[in-house]
């Protein structure tokens, strides 16, 4: 049974990720032509007003926490509970930087200024991505405007800095969410921390192997938490990567309304990878009843169109995050070990198959040589 799961993860997913239609901007980045006012179309990327208003009581709580938070590494005791309720929009820029442990390092600022002057081989790809990033938001609407220019610089700087991964498809959504809260030098610092310290870049490395692992873990968690939905997906031919790859690779920033995106980033910056699974499971649990009624095409459309629209309501978004934070994720290490063991078996099987193929070819060459010799001898 576990072997079958791995086959789904490694074989189907490998062909899915490596196919041109998937490992491309067109899949990770919603296209402008996808959008219209019709109820059957997705909401525009970057949709949703986020108010900076908050109560005096909230501000008092946060003022106390920020005063007690003297060094980024030593978080005040009450911080986690406050972050999980949602950081006030007016304070997000500062709190995100502190959570990511970004200090005001002048050397870092100098490095960024140098990076943005360097040539970038994937500039055209980045430009194409940027044109489709948060077109619903005023800051990013205009080609050649301040927002798009900042986004281009930060994306190019990352591509130059990280020579192994370079520019990741869909990275511009995450960068855009950060740029809406802080100047680009600081946004670049938080982006680096997210990619390196929080492990997001691992999802793109080594032929997406870490992404396969995360999807395998999600599959196993679904077996625990929503087994009937997982069975329904299996019956209808829906595989986890078909909806969760984009969630994980873009940290939910590509299609969901900004209010919900920011709540997810609050918690992700607080606690890391676990948040990916908690949010994915909360979405599946809350909308399980709807999904259970749908066939293959309708399920995929639900994930692409309906689900982001459900999150437009702020109360719904908060309810989802409250549910997400309450979900206990206990067996990630166990599932990782399972995945690695199964992959080792898979690799051995592949190695055996390759060896058999090599022997077959060798025997065929021997047979051909034998026939050639026989023919030559017959002519003597």
Please state at what angle helix 274-286 crosses helix 209-225, rounded to 10 degrees: 40
Per-residue model confidence (pLDDT) at position 39: 67
Residue corresponding to tokens 């189907």 = 12
Per-residue model confidence (pLDDT) at position 55: 87
CA separation for the pair 228, 292 (Å, rounded): 8
Per-residue model confidence (pLDDT) at position 376: 59
Per-residue model confidence (pLDDT) at position 110: 87
Per-residue model confidence (pLDDT) at position 107: 76
Report yes or no: 147 and 179 within 8 Å, Cβ to Cβ. yes
The residues of the chain scoring below 70 in pLDDT are: 1-39, 104-105, 350-356, 359-360, 362-363, 365-380
Q: Return the CATH class of domain 207-252+264-330.
A: mainly alpha
Architecture in CATH of 84-206: Orthogonal Bundle (1.10)
Per-residue model confidence (pLDDT) at position 104: 67
Q: Name the pTM for this structure.
A: 0.85
* Range list of H helices, 50-183: 56-68, 79-84, 92-99, 106-115, 123-130, 138-141, 146-161, 171-179
């Amino acid at each position: 049974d576990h072997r079958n799961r791995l086959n789904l993860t490694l074989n189907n997913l490998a062909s899915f990720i490596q196919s041109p239609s998937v490992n491309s901007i067109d899949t990770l980045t919603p296209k402008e032509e996808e959008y219209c006012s019709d109820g059957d179309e997705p909401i525009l990327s970057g949709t949703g007003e986020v108010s900076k208003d908050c109560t005096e009581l909230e501000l008092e709580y946060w003022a106390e926490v920020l005063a007690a938070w003297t060094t980024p590494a030593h978080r005040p005791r009450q911080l986690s509970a406050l972050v999980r309720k949602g950081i006030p929009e007016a304070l997000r820029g500062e709190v995100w930087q502190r959570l990511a442990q970004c200090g005001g390092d002048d050397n870092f600022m100098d490095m960024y200024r140098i990076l943005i002057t360097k040539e970038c081989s994937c500039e055209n790809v980045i430009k194409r991505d940027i044109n489709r990033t948060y077109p619903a938001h005023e800051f990013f609407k205009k080609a050649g405007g301040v927002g798009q220019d900042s986004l281009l610089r930060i994306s190019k700087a990352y591509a130059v800095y990280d020579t192994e991964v370079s520019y990741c498809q869909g990275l511009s959504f995450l960068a855009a969410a950060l740029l809406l809260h802080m100047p680009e030098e600081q946004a670049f610092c938080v982006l680096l921390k997210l990619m390196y310290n929080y492990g997001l870049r691992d999802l793109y490395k080594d032929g997406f192997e870490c992404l396969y692992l995360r999807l395998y873990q999600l599959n196993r968690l679904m077996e625990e938490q929503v087994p009937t939905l997982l069975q329904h997906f299996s019956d209808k031919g829906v595989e986890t990567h078909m909806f969760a790859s984009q969630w994980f690779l873009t940290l939910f920033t590509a299609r969901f309304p900004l209010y919900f995106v920011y709540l997810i980033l609050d918690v992700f910056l607080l606690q890391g990878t676990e948040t990916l699974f908690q949010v994915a499971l909360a979405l599946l649990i809350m909308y399980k009843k709807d999904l259970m009624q749908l066939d293959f095409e309708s399920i995929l459309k639900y994930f692409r169109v309906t689900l982001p629209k459900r999150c437009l309501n702020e109360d719904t978004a908060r309810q989802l995050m409250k549910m997400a934070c309450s979900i206990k994720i206990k067996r990630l290490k166990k599932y990782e070990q399972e995945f690695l063991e199964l992959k080792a078996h898979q690799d051995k099987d592949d190695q055996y198959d390759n060896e058999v193929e090599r022997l077959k070819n060798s025997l065929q060459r021997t047979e051909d040589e034998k026939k050639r010799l026989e023919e030559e001898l017959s002519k003597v």
